[in-house]
Amino acid sequence: MSADALAPVAGPQPDSTGHFGRFGGRFVPEALVAALDELDGAWRTAIADESFRAEFGALLRDYAGTPSLLYEARRFSAKVGARVLLKREDLNHTGAHKVRNVLGQALLTKRMGKTRVIAETGAGQHGVATATAAALFDLECVVYMGEVDTERQALNVARMRMLGATVVPVTTGSRTLKDAMNEAMRDWVANVDETHYLIGTAAGPHPFPAMVRDFVRGIGDEARQQCLDLTGGLPDAVTACVGGGSNALGIFHAFVGDPDVRLYGFEAGGDGVTTSRHAASITGGSAGVLHGARTYVLQDADGQTLESHSISAGLDYPGVGPEHAWLHDSGRANYLPVTDDEAMAAFELLCRTEGIIPAIESAHALAGTVTLAPKLAAELGREPTIVVNLSGRGDKDVHTAGDYFGILDKER
């Protein structure tokens, strides 16, 4: 199945200049346009090239360990009141769906003859994945990370360094993910000849949103077939957490053309979208321009970006990929917020019922599913089947979760 994860499929595409309806596009310094055009050209050529697709497919299979399993979580299902099938992206190498994107972009970097990759990271997951691919492909790697995050995620900083990457703490602005992204953009403008900016989610200027989506859309292609094989039909709903939006688009894309499959994206509601402490750009933000695209943004009355808050570092971002903004406006996908507390309750439930420690990001998808299941059951008059994208594993979150549940022994 993963032998040709890039084979052409039907599904929504942006227009030739990267617009999904009124969203997307390129709001970037002119200095970057040449590089974006180069990337777009390299990308179009690569996906039409059998050998590139074969190479990517082989890496996904032999290195990343895909296709990931679609696992029927029976004990979790019984608690939730739905037949819950987990797409086990947590079992991939490096522990999340993100490896698919970095392998694809690293291959493309080689094809463009570039020798250096840069990345932004919040929790460090994308940074670790990028450092991994850079080691595998012998590329120089610099990862920008907000100073606040380097302190919160010291272990991931060490992992990146072990893999040979340089981690640059970003001390400007709010010193978190959005500022790391600003700093990566500044680096890219200055070093664009030899450098590829390996963006970690389906956001940013065209062609990143569509390209990243395509690199991860194997998740949905696999899950759709696996669900057919397992249940003899399509699911009633597909759910995922939404930070920048890559794992959600990755699993949605294959189902967008199936009108009976409901699509649900769960955003980080933090303390609640009615408070100022959340990261729900679609349900709690408004249309604007951030990091190269028009999309939903958390912003104040003057268009200044607001700081986001979430217990999940990977969802703690004040924007979202433009394709989600468009899927929201078109009504094809539904977006709902999940609070920190709801996510942590679902985190615990999965641990205790299935022996699987999810990433806190993915716990948002689980929590949304818990709320969705009875509503869907009532609507359908039967037990619904729900495919949940378990986008990553929780090893990185043990400290945060231990803190939350108060189960860490005091330091001696």
Ligand X SMILES: Cc1ncc(COP(=O)(O)O)c(C=O)c1O
The SS3 assignment for 206 reads coil
Q: Any contact of residue 182 with other proteins (CB under 8 A)? A: yes
Q: Determine whether 137 is exposed, middle or buried from the number of CB atoms within 10 Å of its CB (0-12, 13-18, 19+).
A: middle
Encoding tokens for residue 217? 């859309």
**30 included as an active-site residue:** no
Between 164 and 173, CB nearer to other proteins: 173
The whole-angstrom separation of Cα 133 and Cα 209 is 20
Is 307 one of the annotated active-site residues of the chain? no
Number of residues engaging other proteins in binding (CB under 8 A): 36
Using the rule CB under 6 A, which residue among 25, 204, 245, 288 binds ligand X?
245
Give the separation between CA 373 and CA 80, rounded to whole angstroms: 7
Signed CA dihedral, 293, 302, 122, 253: sign only: negative
Residues 266-295 binding other proteins (CB under 8 A) are 288-292
Binding mask 340-369 vs ligand X (x if CB under 6 A, - otherwise)? -------------------x-xx-------
Least distance in angstroms from the C-beta of 225 to other proteins: 39
CB of 395 to other proteins, least distance (A): 31
Residue of 87, 98, 178, 396 marked catalytic: 98
Alpha helices (H) along 168-267: 177-191, 208-216, 218-231, 246-252
Q: What is the C-alpha separation between 377 and 374, in angstroms, rounded?
A: 5
Q: Smaller CB distance to ligand X: residue 148 or 242?
A: 242
- 323 a catalytic residue: no
Burial class for 20, CB neighbours closer than 10 Å (0-12, 13-18, 19+): buried
What's the full length of the chain, in residues? 412
Q: Select the residue interacting with ligand X from 114, 392, 401, 404 (CB under 6 A).
A: 392
Ranked by CB distance to ligand X, the top (closest) residue is 392
Q: For residues 341 and 345, what is the distance between their CA atoms, to the nearest angstrom?
A: 6
Choice from 11, 81, 164, 173 touching other proteins (CB under 8 A): 173
Stretch that binds other proteins, among 19-27, 60-68, 223-231, 277-285 (CB under 8 A): 19-27
Q: Does residue 156 contact residue 163 with C-beta atoms inside 8 Å?
A: no
CA distance 22 to 26: 12
List 89, 120, 222, 354, catalytic entry: 120
Structure tokens at 315: 């969802």
Q: Of the listed pieces 78-86, 189-197, 220-228, 355-363, which binds other proteins according to CB under 8 A?
A: 189-197
Q: Which pair of structure tokens corresponds to residue 382?
A: 């039967």
Q: Contacting ligand X (CB under 6 A), which of 104, 127, 243, 368?
A: 243
Number of amino acids touching ligand X (CB under 6 A): 21
| Residues from 250 through 289 that contact ligand X (CB under 6 A) | none
Task: Please say whether the beta carbons of 2 and 222 come within 8 A.
Answer: yes
Asked if residue 80 lies in contact with residue 110, where contact means CB atoms within 8 angstroms, the answer is no
Active site residues: 98, 120, 391
Residues near ligand X (CB under 6 A) are 96, 98, 123, 125-126, 201, 241-248, 314-315, 359, 361-362, 391-392
Residues near other proteins (CB under 8 A) are 17, 25-35, 172-173, 178-179, 182, 185-186, 189-193, 288-292, 297, 299, 301-305
